[in-house]
């Protein structure tokens, strides 16, 4: 029956939704729709158009939910200070308090869901949940070449720096790091690729080309919320494909052993440990990978066959955004 997969998927979603509403509903002061919107706004707020994309709600229905939350003194809607053309939804102090209460109810609901299961069943359920999330997220991720000065790119690069400062044993000192200028990640010198999910930036990765037909992976970062769902692997594959099309023979990167998920991603992607090839003070691991070079027609060939015609596309020449991919996530220290 042609619609059998749809029927099964709807039955599954209905079962999960009904169970969660029943578990989280106890003590709830808002409707499920209002609670969902308030939780999605986050403690610092978000742009209205991004909220609409993430929730997939009709504009009129979302407007009614926001008016109700505004009337309850939980949110405000006003101009975005970073983009005057956009509106931003912000939680009030009372709204943030209710967000915390929602998070606590959700945690209790998850505990109640897992409690009746034994250890093996819990592992099976959590594995299935991760796989469902991966299958939902992967087709929705969009990869685009952007300029480092673009607001979503700046946001990702700032989060990248903050995470290194937090996770590296000695912190991250920008003044001591090897220099990397924005122009180094703009064609023809290199490229910065942004990963977006439902309109929101969730990761980035840079490629810096060298004259000796090598390239370095730089500024790899994936938002914690989507790690393990294939975003990091997609970024890495995209950067490798762009490097190969530009005639690069070997891709290199430096990272730190404290970034365990990044190290795992690189090893699983075929990167081999090598002696240090630079003096990056924030790195204690160096990797490289030999590439099978592909020309603009997609055919595998030698570097000499494709180098004359291949080059990095500028952001304005980027082909239609790529979708789909495989799992993993990580960061480099470079």
**One domain for residues 204 and 156:** yes
Structure tokens that stand for 317 in this block: 């020449």
**One domain for residues 21 and 104:** yes
Could you give the dihedral angle defined by the CA atoms of residues 106, 98, 198 and 59, in that order, rounded to the nearest 10 degrees? Answer: 120
Residue 27 has pLDDT above 70, yes or no: no
Cα dihedral 179, 180, 181, 183 sign: positive
Is residue 17 helix, strand or coil? helix
Tell me what the mean pLDDT of segment 14-32 comes to.
Answer: 67
- pLDDT for the residue numbered 322: 52
Residue 75 has pLDDT above 70, yes or no: yes
Distance CA 90, CA 235 (A): 31
- pLDDT for the residue numbered 305: 36
Query: How many CB atoms are located within 10 Å of the residue 25 CB?
Result: 13
Tell me what the mean pLDDT of segment 154-165 comes to.
Answer: 95
For the ranges 72-76, 220-224, 246-250, 305-309, the lowest mean pLDDT is seen at: 305-309
C-beta contacts of 267-272 below 8 A and 24+ residues apart: 268/328, 269/233, 269/236, 269/328
Q: In this prediction, what percent of the chain has a pLDDT beyond 90?
A: 56
**One domain for residues 87 and 212:** no
> What does the pLDDT look like over 6-16, one tens digit per residue?
777 778 777 77
**One domain for residues 284 and 160:** yes
Residue 301 has pLDDT above 60, yes or no: no
**One domain for residues 70 and 203:** no
* Domain count for the chain: 2
| In a domain? residue 127 | no
Distance CA 300, CA 277 (A): 27
> What does the pLDDT look like over 86-145, one tens digit per residue?
899 999 999 999 999 988 888 888 888 889 999 999 999 889 988 988 888 888 899 999
**One domain for residues 173 and 108:** no
**One domain for residues 157 and 8:** no
Residue 261 has pLDDT above 70, yes or no: yes
Q: In what order do the strands lie in the sheet containing 272-273?
A: 141-146, 190-197, 200-209, 214-222, 250-255, 285-290, 272-273
Domain housing 60? 4-116
Domain of 50, CATH number, reads 1.10.10.10
Say which DSSP state 53 is in: H
Tell me what the mean pLDDT of segment 275-288 comes to.
Answer: 96
Distance CA 122, CA 118 (A): 6
**One domain for residues 217 and 265:** yes
Structure tokens that stand for 170 in this block: 């000695």
Q: Is the pTM above the cut of 0.85?
A: no
Residue with tokens 């929730």: 55
Domain of 292, CATH number, reads 3.40.630.30
């Amino acid at each position: 029956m042609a619609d059998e997969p749809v029927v099964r998927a709807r039955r599954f979603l209905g079962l999960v939704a009904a169970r969660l509403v029943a578990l989280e509903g106890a003590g709830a002061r808002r409707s499920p729709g209002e609670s969902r919107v308030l939780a999605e706004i986050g403690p610092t707020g978000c742009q209205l158009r991004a909220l609409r994309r993430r929730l997939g709600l009709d504009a009129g229905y979302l407007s009614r939910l926001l008016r109700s939350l505004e009337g309850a003194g939980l949110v405000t809607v006003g101009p975005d200070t970073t983009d005057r053309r956009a509106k931003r939804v912000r939680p009030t102090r009372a709204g943030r308090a209710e967000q915390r209460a929602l998070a606590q109810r959700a945690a209790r609901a998850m505990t109640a869901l897992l409690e009746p299961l034994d250890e093996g069943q819990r592992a099976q359920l959590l594995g299935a949940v991760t796989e469902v999330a991966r299958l939902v997220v992967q087709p929705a991720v969009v990869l685009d070449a952007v300029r480092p000065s673009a607001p979503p790119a700046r946001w990702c690069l700032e989060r990248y720096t903050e995470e290194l400062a937090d996770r590296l044993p000695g912190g991250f000192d920008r003044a001591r790091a090897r220099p990397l200028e924005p122009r180094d990640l703009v064609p023809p010198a290199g490229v910065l690729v942004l990963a977006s999910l439902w309109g929101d930036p969730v990761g980035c990765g840079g490629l810096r080309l060298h004259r000796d037909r090598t390239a370095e992976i730089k500024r790899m970062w994936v938002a914690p919320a989507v790690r393990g769902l294939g975003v990091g692997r997609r970024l890495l594959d995209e950067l490798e494909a762009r490097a190969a099309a530009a005639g690069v023979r070997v891709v290199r990167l430096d990272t730190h052993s404290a970034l365990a998920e990044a190290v795992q991603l690189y090893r699983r992607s075929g990167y081999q440990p090598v002696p240090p090839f630079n003096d990056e003070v924030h790195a204690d691991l160096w990797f490289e990978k030999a590439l099978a070079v592909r020309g603009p027609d997609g055919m595998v060939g030698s570097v000499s066959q494709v180098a004359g015609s291949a080059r990095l596309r500028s952001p304005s020449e980027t082909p239609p955004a790529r979708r789909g991919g495989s799992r993993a996530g990580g960061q480099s220290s470079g």
